[in-house]
Amino acid sequence: MFGYRVPAPDEAMLISGGRRGLGGAPFRVVTGHGKFVLPVFRKTRFLTLSMCESEVTETCVTKQGIALHVRAVIAFKVGNDTESIINAGQRFLSDQDQMSVLTGRIFAGHLRAIIGSMTVEEIVTERQKLAAEVLDTSKTEMAKIGLIVDSLQIQSIDDGDVGYIDAMSAPHKAAIQRQAQIAQAQATQASVEAQQVAARNQAEYARQTAVVKAEYSAQVDRAQAEAAQAGPLAQAHAQQEVLAAQTELAQRAAKLRQQQLVAEVVKPAEAEAERIKVLAIAEAERMKIQAEAAASHDRVALDRMLIDQLPLIVKEAAGGLAGANVNVLNGADGLGEIAAGLVAQGLTILDSVRQNLNGQNSDGRADKSNGPLELQSYLRTPEKDTDESEPEGGPSSTR
């Protein structure tokens, strides 16, 4: 609307003309709302209430006479109350930039005064105390010009080429460096120990891994070897069993063949040998009888007849033995016993015949007419008895 003015939130509207303001001020102060201003009759100006900044760089001499270059930053503004706005408006309304210049100068003077009452050690170690004292001493002056200080920061303190601050900090630097070196050494030692532990752990893990791999490899090799040998071993066992069975079969066949050879060759050979032996014995006995007959002139004819009959007796006995089904239990001894029995039987018959033939009549002479007949009868009698006693199939004797 024409003639209605409204200040910004960070501004104060100063209306001059008409009646005076508070406390006899040449203007009225309006903040936070609008105001109708008559044109031509009233004049309106605006004063900033926003934050302002002022930087102070000053060379100050301490209590010890050491020059320090101090750099500080002041944050200030116009007070929100009407009195502060009136004070600031009367001083800075036409040139508001002068607020920063004037504030810097005011703080520079107070900074020099306060630093001059302090030592370097206090200034360096108690910067906050320095700032608080500067604010306290400048507060009254700042209030007179309508300004308030929000903060004061000491950004840097430097003694130039004097080296006092460096010398003051040298022990601390040395201690800090020593502590840093100790800490670094400890850290290095801890790092080395950690690396050694890690290396040992890795070596142990590698060893365990190698052992496990070797065990697994050995197991795999053993399993493969057993698998590779399983076939040949099974085949060898099978062949061994086959050979054992073949050996047993061969032993049984050899034993059977031996028994067959004994039955087919040895036993007949032994029987034939015994037969020949019996014949030889009979022949020897015949020759002996012939010799005895030749010595006895009175019985030549009789002994000649007996001698001629003895081979027939033995031959008949041997022929019966050869054709008989004889089971000999004790081998050659049994055959010898049978042959010896036959010879003894023949000799017994011969002695009986001799006794019968040598029998004399009551007059002391031999009965020549009955001798040959009785011998023939005696020789036939055993054959008859043998024929009657033999079962069908021929003579048989078991010993």
Q: Give the DSSP H or E segment for 23.
A: none
Q: What is the spatial distance between Cα 313 and Cα 342, in angstroms, rounded to a whole number?
A: 10
- Per-residue pLDDT, averaged over 72-87, amounts to 89
**Averaged confidence pLDDT in the chain:** 77
Token pair listed for 201: 């752990």
Q: What is the spatial distance between Cα 359 and Cα 375, in angstroms, rounded to a whole number?
A: 13
Give the pLDDT confidence score for residue 372 in this predicted structure.
Answer: 45
Are 52 and 77 spatial neighbours (Cβ–Cβ below 8 Å)?
A: yes
Helices then strands (H, E): number in the chain?
9, 8
Are 74 and 56 spatial neighbours (Cβ–Cβ below 8 Å)?
A: yes
The most confident of the ranges 253-257, 265-269, 313-317 is 253-257
Q: What is the spatial distance between Cα 331 and Cα 333, in angstroms, rounded to a whole number?
A: 5
Give the pLDDT confidence score for residue 75 in this predicted structure.
Answer: 92
The most confident of the ranges 5-19, 68-82, 331-345 is 68-82
Length of the chain equals: 399
Segment 38-51, tens digit of pLDDT: 777 788 888 898 89
Q: In this predicted model, which residue has the larger pLDDT, 363 or 157?
A: 157
Query: What is the pLDDT confidence band of residue 286, given thresholds at 50, 70 and 90?
Result: confident
Give the pLDDT confidence score for residue 330 in this predicted structure.
Answer: 52
Segment 117-129, tens digit of pLDDT: 888 888 888 888 8
Token pair listed for 239: 């062949």
**Does 396 score more than 50 pLDDT?**
no
Q: What are phi and psi of 66, to 5 degrees?
A: -100, 130
- Per-residue pLDDT, averaged over 139-163, amounts to 87
Q: What are phi and psi of 148, to 5 degrees?
A: -125, 145
Q: Give the DSSP H or E segment for 35.
A: strand 35-36
Radius of gyration of the chain (CA): 82
- Per-residue pLDDT, averaged over 250-278, amounts to 84
Q: What are phi and psi of 257, to 5 degrees?
A: -65, -35
* Region of residue 201 (phi > 0: left; psi between -120 and 50: alpha; otherwise: beta): alpha
Residues paired with 52 in a beta bridge: 76
DSSP code of 156?
E
Segment 212-237, tens digit of pLDDT: 989 888 888 888 888 887 777 778 88
Token pair listed for 167: 């010398």
Are 23 and 83 spatial neighbours (Cβ–Cβ below 8 Å)?
A: yes
Indicate whether this model's pTM tops 0.75: no
Q: What is the spatial distance between Cα 362 and Cα 358, in angstroms, rounded to a whole number?
A: 13
Closest CA to 52 of 12, 102, 121, 2: 102
Q: In this predicted model, which residue has the larger pLDDT, 131 or 355?
A: 131
Lowest mean pLDDT among 34-38, 83-87, 291-295, 316-320: 316-320
Question: Among all chains, which residue has been given the structure tokens 């270059």?
Answer: 69
**Helix, strand, coil % over all residues of the chain, rounded to 5:** 65, 15, 20
